[in-house]
Amino acid sequence: MRDLGPLLRPRIIAVVGASSNLRSPSGKPVRFLRESGADVTVYPVNPVRDEVAGYRAYPDPSALPEAPDVAVVVTPGSAVIPAVEALAERGARAVVVITSGFAEGSGDEGVAAQRRLREIAGEHDMVLLGPNTLGIHDYARGIPLSFVWYGERPIDDSGAVAVVSQSGSGMTSLCDRLLTASVPVGFGVATGNEADLTVVDLLEHFAADDSVRVIVTVFEEIREGARFIEVCRRLRAAGKPLIALKAGRTESGAAMVKSHTGALAGAYPVLRALLRQNGVIEVEDLDEVPPMAAAALLGAYPDSGGIAVVTNSGGAAALAADRADEIGAPLAQLGPETREQVRANLPEFAQGRPVSNPIDVTAQNVKRPRAIAEIAAALVDDPGVGGVLVALASAGGPDGLAWVDRLIELARASPKPIVAVILSGQESEGLRNRLRAGGVPVLSSPAMAVDTLHRLHRFGASRRAAEAAEAMQPIPQDPVPLPDDASEFTTLHWLREYGVPVVEQRLATTPAEAAEAAEAIGFPVAVKICSPDIAHKTEAGGVALDLKTAEEVSAATERVLGAAAGSAPDAVIQGVTVSPMVEATLELISGIHEDPTFGPVVLLGLGGVWAEVLGDVTMRGLPLAHGASEGMVADLQGAALLRGARGRAAADPAALERLVRALARIAADHGDRLQSLDLNPVAITTSGEVVVLDAALFARPPVTPREAR
């Protein structure tokens, strides 16, 4: 891990290109440092002035009286490289290049200049942020390294939240929103063009920084897939939620990213699957970040139980229940003891009725507002409850807001998250502030609160799954070498060695051999041409289905061999394969896909035309947790079909698990050569068996030791 101390905790700061016009972008960094009152040494570098903003200025980096920890570079484009070279020579440990006009839009020259920046940093063991970065905001110590700064507001200096963004406006927008929502932001860092330091470097640093408890990142492209996933895992293990917003998820969004930064966004579905698999809390909009960060700071990540809602607004209760159903967040089933404790706190007219969740204390609550806190306490103690939402309208009463302190106390001691929504009321602003000051997140609506609690739950469940998986020892097995040719027969044979449930298949070179094989297998059978050179067998006349007698098999074999020879005269024909007809009630697809950023992923989806139209496919990266297939099935829109909806047999869960585990082993063994492996179709039979009927393997040629050198 690289040492980012000089960049993020500097004592001596140079600003190269500092303008004496303190309202201009190149004058603002020094001005903000001056106004911040931070206890740091500031050296403006300006070729013609000997003073900037009250600091003594120096004509160039070599003239600095001491080596800076960090230098902020705001010189015009052409002067950047000489400045960075001079800073490196002067012993600067870190550089922030704010100047733009590099790889993001100035053609080959810009790309070359950016590469040179990286070289200089590498040669001098210096870390370099940017170019085209908005810089760094350190709100905990009050140090701006930027031409934008929001430090004039009152700041909670605990610095518990770090923001890491590629785009400058992403960084400033998130810091602005978080500060407005009273969330204690420590750092905001924009990585810009990432000539040297990337989002992943920053995440790695903050993962190890004990003062940071929650990290927010907004990015357009992840360049180092494996390192990124490793950092995500480390954050999950450390119990530090990573909240991620990806820009460029769709075709139009990715096109925008490309024109904006030149970055080629990877395939979003793969990224999304891997974020989810590794416990990253993904959000899709800036508005979702502040509530999510506030709730994540609670540090309570239940891995079981549902959401419990207590409110004095029936409408809010219904809206919370709606959202829970719509996003698949379970509502808690309350235990009998909890129901009794709740009932004791309900108004008289509710005494004769069953207690269920959400709990509506009704407007009658105005007579005894403390009941809300008492009910919340009972809910927290119920093992079926994983999180509590308290939603209130007009919550004052004769006792004032005394009950609020009880709720704050409860939230502090609770191992389960408690969040609040204040719907309205003359006292609402004061109530919100009091709750926030007490550490209870106050969210904007019942729906937002349910979203937030559900995401905390998913983070908790991901942690538990990861712990369980890590506790299991995989059994080491020797790799089965990749087959020499990629015919269906060879590929299925190879898959069988890996334990994949493939259809029985016999190779025959003559009509008589084929008839004999069919007798052994049992009718009806399929006969298919076997050749590594014929990928599209049906089009080549190479397939005959549903053959019911030895005579039909013999005749079909003759026909298939003749057609193949006619349509592909140069193809190597190994013969025909004979296999039983398998009656599928459902067709799946499965296999391995190689992502350019993240490497091989295992996929599972619905097959046939519906799958093509609906795109109902899910993915997992390596290593696969035990029981992964269950989660993969749950991801599919058609999950109910695999679980045996409408009287059909369920797809054998153990067989599905064997299938995806075998694929994971193949990906681990052959990831360096595998381009893709497509199992299509994977039949689910009437009795629920899982049988791979066809497979196509695409591999790169082996790299010989000579070439590898």
Nearer to its own copies (CB atom), residue 72 or residue 500? 72
Task: Give DSSP secondary structure letters for 284-313.
Answer: SSGGGHHHHHHHHTT----SS-EEEEEES-
Structure tokens at 328: 């698949």
Binding mask 205-234 for its own copies (x = CB under 8 A): -------------x-x--------------
Show the CA angle centred on residue 102, arms to residues 221 and 168, nearest 5°: 50
Site for its own copies in 598-627 (CB under 8 A): 609-610, 612-614
Site for its own copies in 263-302 (CB under 8 A): 284-287
* Shortest CB 260 distance to its own copies, Å: 3
DSSP character at residue 128: E
Query: Residue 239 region, left (φ>0) first, then alpha (ψ -120 to 50), else beta?
Result: left
Q: How far apart are CA 106 and CA 617, in angstroms?
A: 39
Show the CA angle centred on residue 154, arms to residues 148 and 160, nearest 5°: 85
Site for its own copies in 149-168 (CB under 8 A): 149-150, 152, 165-168
Binding of its own copies at residue 111 (CB under 8 A)? no
Distance of CA 365 to the CA centre of its chain: 42
Nearer to its own copies (CB atom), residue 470 or residue 546? 546
Structure tokens at 195: 């000539």
Binding of its own copies at residue 509 (CB under 8 A)? no
Q: Can you give the three-state secondary structure of 667-678, one letter per residue? A: HHHHCCCEEEEE
3-state SS, residue 597: coil
3-state SS, residue 638: coil
Task: Give DSSP secondary structure letters for 333-399.
Answer: PPPHHHHHHHHTTS-GGGTTS---SSEE--GGGGG-THHHHHHHHHHHH-TTEEEEEEEEES---TT
Binding of its own copies at residue 256 (CB under 8 A)? yes
Max CA separation in the chain (angstroms): 101
What are the E-state strand segments in 447-574? Answer: 506-508, 525-530, 543-547
* Shortest CB 658 distance to its own copies, Å: 25
The answer to whether 360 and 311 are in contact (CB under 8 A) is yes
Binding of its own copies at residue 423 (CB under 8 A)? yes
- Please name the residue ranges forming H helices in 27-182: 28-36, 80-89, 107-123, 168-180
Q: Could you check whether the bond before residue 483 is cis, i.e. omega within 30 degrees of 0?
A: no
DSSP character at residue 69: S
Q: Which of 208, 226, 255, 264 binds its own copies (CB under 8 A)?
A: 255
Binding of its own copies at residue 353 (CB under 8 A)? yes
Cβ atoms within 10 Å of 174's Cβ, excluding its own: 26
Site for its own copies in 297-316 (CB under 8 A): 312-316
Nearer to its own copies (CB atom), residue 423 or residue 465? 423
* Shortest CB 455 distance to its own copies, Å: 16
Structure tokens at 207: 């993962």
Q: Which of 78, 211, 351, 356 binds its own copies (CB under 8 A)?
A: 356
Q: How far apart are CA 688 and CA 7, in angstroms?
A: 59
3-state SS, residue 262: coil
Cβ atoms within 10 Å of 690's Cβ, excluding its own: 22
* Shortest CB 622 distance to its own copies, Å: 28
Site for its own copies in 322-341 (CB under 8 A): 322-326, 331
* Shortest CB 460 distance to its own copies, Å: 22
Binding of its own copies at residue 448 (CB under 8 A)? yes
Q: Which of 40, 79, 321, 466 binds its own copies (CB under 8 A)?
A: 321
Which stretch, 7-15, 256-264, 617-625, 681-689, contacts its own copies (CB under 8 A)?
A: 256-264
Residue positions counted in the chain:
709
Site for its own copies in 12-71 (CB under 8 A): 25
Q: Which of 18, 393, 530, 561 binds its own copies (CB under 8 A)?
A: 393
Which stretch, 321-329, 458-466, 654-662, 699-707, contacts its own copies (CB under 8 A)?
A: 321-329
Strands 281-283 and 359-360: unpaired
Site for its own copies in 177-206 (CB under 8 A): 177
Binding of its own copies at residue 105 (CB under 8 A)? yes
Site for its own copies in 661-700 (CB under 8 A): none
Q: Which amino acid is at 649?
A: A
* Shortest CB 17 distance to its own copies, Å: 16
Rg (CA), the chain: 31
Q: Which of 63, 208, 535, 645 binds its own copies (CB under 8 A)?
A: 645
Q: Which of 247, 385, 495, 695 binds its own copies (CB under 8 A)?
A: 247
Q: How far apart are CA 163 and CA 155, in angstroms?
A: 15
Which stretch, 97-105, 297-305, 460-468, 489-497, contacts its own copies (CB under 8 A)?
A: 97-105
Binding of its own copies at residue 262 (CB under 8 A)? no
Show the CA angle centred on residue 344, arms to residues 358 and 332, nearest 5°: 25
Nearer to its own copies (CB atom), residue 62 or residue 538? 538
Q: Which of 30, 38, 88, 176 binds its own copies (CB under 8 A)?
A: 176
Q: Which amino acid is at 443?
A: L
Element (H, E) at 560: helix 550-567
Q: Which of 13, 121, 148, 521 binds its own copies (CB under 8 A)?
A: 148
Q: Which of 48, 154, 336, 426 binds its own copies (CB under 8 A)?
A: 426
* Shortest CB 457 distance to its own copies, Å: 16
**Which residues is 442 bridged to in the sheet?**
420
* Shortest CB 684 distance to its own copies, Å: 12
Q: Which of 317, 346, 388, 419 binds its own copies (CB under 8 A)?
A: 317
Nearer to its own copies (CB atom), residue 41 or residue 637? 637
* Shortest CB 312 distance to its own copies, Å: 8
* Shortest CB 287 distance to its own copies, Å: 5
- How big is the site for its own copies, counted in residues (CB under 8 A)? 90
Binding of its own copies at residue 133 (CB under 8 A)? no
Q: Which of 172, 531, 579, 629 binds its own copies (CB under 8 A)?
A: 172
Nearer to its own copies (CB atom), residue 424 or residue 477? 424
Binding of its own copies at residue 425 (CB under 8 A)? yes
Q: Which of 20, 41, 509, 637 binds its own copies (CB under 8 A)?
A: 637
* Shortest CB 286 distance to its own copies, Å: 4
Nearer to its own copies (CB atom), residue 69 or residue 360? 360
Binding of its own copies at residue 442 (CB under 8 A)? no
Show the CA angle centred on residue 186, arms to residues 149 and 437, nearest 5°: 105
The answer to whether 308 and 331 are in contact (CB under 8 A) is yes
